[in-house]
Every structure is written in C-alpha cells, then in structure tokens.
C-alpha cells in the first residue's frame, strides 16, 4: 500500500467552516484490504481505529465506532 492508496484530504477541510469534517477515500487501485492494513496494530502496542481502518463501513460514524470496539478487543 502506498500513501496515495488511501488518503484523507490534506487540505484539512475540518478547518473549513462550511464542511466541518472529512473522511477517507481510496484511490482507483486500492481495495478494502488497504483499510484492513491500516487497522493492524504495531507490535501489539500501538492500536488503530477510526473510519479509515474499517473495510466494512468506511467513511461512517458506525465504522469508526466498531473499529474502536474491535481495537479494544485486540488489546
């Protein structure tokens, strides 16, 4: 996976008063596997969650929540 496979917009729309948020999007050649790769912990010490780690419900609040629950379950 490269940095461009799975991106959030670096223009930081969270600071844009008419948007107030953002979520991930994948490039043409990426797949759900890239979301799963972002979920993988590092050395069982550093854990990740959030919509960008959810291959099942990317870009959604419930995807973010469920990956948080799953990450806690892996600790």
Ligand X SMILES: Cc1cc2nc3c(=O)[nH]c(=O)nc-3n(C[C@H](O)[C@H](O)[C@H](O)COP(=O)(O)OP(=O)(O)OC[C@H]3O[C@@H](n4cnc5c(N)ncnc54)[C@H](O)[C@@H]3O)c2cc1C
Contact in structure between 23 and 50 (CB atoms under 8 Å)? no
Provide the greatest CA pair distance for the chain. Answer: 39
Residue 66 is a binding residue for ligand X (CB under 6 A): no
Minimum distance from CB of 42 to ligand X (Å)? 17
C-alpha span between 72 and 75 (Å, rounded): 5
Residue 61 is a binding residue for ligand X (CB under 6 A): yes
Minimum distance from CB of 32 to ligand X (Å)? 16
Site residues (vs ligand X, CB under 6 A): 19, 21-23, 50-51, 59-62, 64
């Amino acid at each position: 996976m490269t940095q461009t496979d799975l991106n959030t917009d670096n223009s930081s729309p969270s600071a844009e008063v008419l948007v107030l948020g953002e979520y991930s999007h994948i490039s043409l050649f990426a797949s759900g596997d890239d979301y799963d790769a972002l979920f993988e912990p590092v050395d069982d010490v550093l854990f990740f969650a959030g919509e960008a780690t959810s291959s099942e419900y990317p870009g959604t609040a419930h995807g973010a929540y469920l990956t948080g629950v799953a990450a806690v379950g892996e600790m």
